[in-house]
Amino acid sequence: EVQVVESGGGFVQPGGSLRLSCAASGFTFSRYTMVWVRQAPGKGLEWVSYISSGSTTASYTDSLKGRFTISRDNTQNSLYLQMNSLRDEDTAVYYCARASWDLSSKFYLDFWGLGTLVTVSS
Amino acid sequence: DIQMTQSPSSLSASVGDGVAITCRASQSVSTYVNWYQQKPGKAPTLLIYGASNLHTGVPSRFRGSGSGTDFTLSISSLQPDDFATYYCQQSDSVPQTFGQGTRLEIK
């Protein structure tokens, strides 16, 4: 059974840092691109970042560049998101998702974790 | 960035009704649009990928269509389990932006 499980969320003051983790199981992790998506309380989904299967390519939504860093360890079947200089507006549930590829769609997010809540507040 | 605009933002319907949700991209994204369903307090789940391909296990009452800039998610014969929020997403280019969501409520 495919599973992705996020951890590492919590309460942090503005300017602080957190490292989120995502543990994957039930599929060959090293073959898949992985994605982080976040959702602020009561708001819609926001695509955050992706990393290719071999870590050769990564990208971020513009507002996060320079503050967030995505990485992965294929030997540990784990995905990470290092978040620095956190702001109030980074408060959200952060989801880890597996990205599958199809010719008709390029990437689509077919398995999601339950999410981990990050709260940034003074 | 490509903007995805969904309409309506909310919708009321009854069990057994058919509904349609539209999504417009700010530029052509070919067929690179996916649709997700999210229930309160839960993670999103994939419904449709590549504009019209039904994800494994999704009931056939869900149908996706469109290409270029205009896309539609149709749900026929609504079931109680279908009342949720629906999001479109473009996967043509990064950032792979989502629409703002359409909340489908029971009338």
Nearest residue of B to residue A114, measured between CA atoms: B43
Is pLDDT of A104 > 80?
A: no
- A82 in Cβ contact with A69 (< 8 Å): yes
Within 10 angstroms of residue B86's Cβ, the number of other Cβ atoms is 25
Q: Which helix (H) or strand (E) holds A59?
A: strand A58-60
Q: What does the longest C-alpha to C-alpha distance in chain B come to?
A: 38
Sign of the dihedral defined by the CA atoms of residues B28, A64, A100, B83, in that order: negative
Check pLDDT > 80 for residue A105.
no
Which residue of chain B is at minimal alpha-carbon distance from A107? Answer: B91
Task: Give the pLDDT confidence score for residue A63 in this predicted structure.
Answer: 86
Cα of A102 vs its chain's centroid, Å: 21
Q: A112 to chain B: which residues are within 8 Å by CB?
A: 43-45
For residue A58, is pLDDT > 80? yes
pLDDT of residue A66: 87
Residues of B in contact with A108 (CB under 8 A): 34, 46, 49-50, 55, 89, 91
| Cβ pair A95, A6 in contact under 8 A | yes
Query: Residue A22 is encoded by which pair of tokens?
Result: 């995502």
**Mean pLDDT rounded to a whole number for chain A:** 96
Average pLDDT value for residue range A78-91: 97
**Mean pLDDT value of segment A99-115:** 91
Confidence of residue A115 (pLDDT cuts 50, 70, 90): very high
* Cross-chain CB nearest to A114 (options B32, B43, B100): B43
Mean pLDDT on A61-83: 95
Contact B98 A46 (CB under 8 A): yes
Q: What parts of chain B have a pLDDT lower than 70? A: none
**Per-residue model confidence (pLDDT) at position A86:** 97
> What is the per-residue pLDDT across A2-13, written as a single tens digit (0 to 9) for each?
999 999 999 999
* A39-66 average pLDDT score: 94
Beta bridge partners of A39: A45, A93
pLDDT value at A102 more than 90: no
